[in-house]
Each structure stands twice: as C-alpha cells, then as structure tokens.
A = this chain, B = another copy of it.
Amino acid sequence: MSDKDKKQQSHQKKMEKLKDNVDASIAAADTERGVFILLTGNGKGKSSSAFGMVIRALGYGYKVGVVQFIKGAQLSGEELYIRDQCPQVTFHQMGTGFTWDTQDRSADIAAAEKSWAIAEKMLTDDSYHLVVLDELTYMLSFKYLDQDMILSTLENRPANQSLVVTGRGGGSALADLADTVSEIKEVKHAYNAGIMARKGVDY
C-alpha cells in the first residue's frame, strides 16, 4: 500500500469514528422542545452569539423577542440592524446607560423592573420561538431583580420557546436551570495590546 493510500485509509477510519460519535449523540437525543442556553464567562462573543441566533431564527421566519438589560449610550451595529431591517423583532432596551455609569441604585432597580415586565410578556407568549435576554445576569448579580421570581418565569415559559440569556456570572441556580451552558473565556483581548474597539466588530 502506498503512503498516500495509507494516509487515505487512516483518514477514512478517523472520519468514520468522528461521524459515528456525532451520529450517536444526535440519535440519542429524542426530546423535542425549546432550549434554554446560557452564554456566560468573561470573553468576547456572548451578545454577538445571541444575535447570531436571532438571525438563525429569522432565517426560518420565526418570531423573536429581545430585551437588553444594559446598553451603552450609542446603539451598536447589531441593534441598528435589528431596529432598521427587522421590524418583525420585538426589541426593547433598558435605556439607562451602563449601570456603572449611572451609579444610582434606585433608578437602576426601577428600570430593571420595567424591562423585566416586558420580558415577562414574551416569556408567557408562545408565539415567540426565541427570546433573548441580553445581560440579564447582572440584574441578578446586582440584586436588582428577585432571583426566585426570575427563575420561576424562565422555567415556566412555553414548552416550545427557546431562550438565550447572556452575561457574566448570574449564579449557579441560573446555570442549573439552563439546558446548555457555554462559558466564553477570554484567552486574550486586543485592547490589552492597545488596540481600540472596532466599529462593526466590537460594537
């Protein structure tokens, strides 16, 4: 057998094994229902991943709701896009600026409660295929919203509705409730090398 044939044979064996593993995982899964995905960790990519899933759902024409619990003074690119190009998405922003900019706990709590009321409507309406609660975890870490009330609403959402929650932390009870948890770890970040945040990439 030539080297090339050996390589092809070894490659084929590896690929068959990989395919078997992937196929086995897929075959073993037999419950079809909405999933709760928690995207956490200190790395870049949590909110952009959530917006990628928004686009994924829109590709099939599904109804989507997004509530952002923290936002900057300016709209970022994905927010501009959703606002201007996706009128079918119900989109709400807390609109108090970054929490660490306001430094007023009472005002933040009032804003968080108002935004939560909007999220709650989506989480009890089964016409939404996907609900994104961007940076909700901070509302729990800062104790702006009651954890038991939040967890109970998330858990009791319509069976076919999927949910994406993003943000650092959020506590173990939230992670326990989630079906899928990805921790996005910062291995390195451009700004530590003095590179500015990039329009159309970072915001």
Contact of A59 among B49, B60, B78, B185 (CB under 8 A): B78
Q: Convert A160-203 into 0s and 1s, putting 1 for each residue whose CB lies closer than 8 angstroms to a CB of B.
A: 00101000000000010011111111111111111111111111
Q: A199 — which chain B residues lie within 8 A by C-beta?
A: 60
Specify the chain B residue showing the minimal Cβ separation from A43: B182
Interfacial chain B residues near A58, Cβ < 8 Å? 77, 81, 85
A22 in contact (CB, < 8 A): yes
Is there contact, CB below 8 Å, between A80 and B52?
A: no
- Kindly list chain B residues whose C-beta atoms are within 8 Å of the C-beta of A32: 195-196, 198
Chain B residues lying within 8 Å of A54, measured Cβ to Cβ, are: 52, 55
Using A39-B45, A52-B50 as known contacts, say yes or no to A26 and B197 having CB atoms under 8 A apart: yes
For chain A, the count of residues having a C-beta within 8 Å of the partner chain is 91
Please, which residues of chain B bring their CB within 8 A of the CB of A48? 48-50, 52-53, 56
Expressed in whole angstroms, the Cα–Cα distance for A51 and B52 within the complex equals: 5
User: A152 near B: Cβ within 8 Å?
Assistant: no
With A and B bound together, what is the CA distance between A24 and B98 in angstroms? 15
Most buried by B among A55, A78, A85: A55
Residue A103 contacts which of B11, B55, B100, B198 (CB distance < 8 angstroms)? B11
A–B pairs, 28, beta carbons within 8 Å: A8-B104, A12-B104, A15-B102, A29-B191, A31-B194, A31-B196, A33-B198, A34-B201, A35-B195, A35-B202, A44-B180, A45-B46, A45-B52, A47-B52, A48-B50, A48-B52, A49-B52, A54-B55, A55-B82, A56-B76, A59-B76, A59-B80, A59-B81, A60-B80, A175-B187, A180-B189, A181-B187, A182-B187
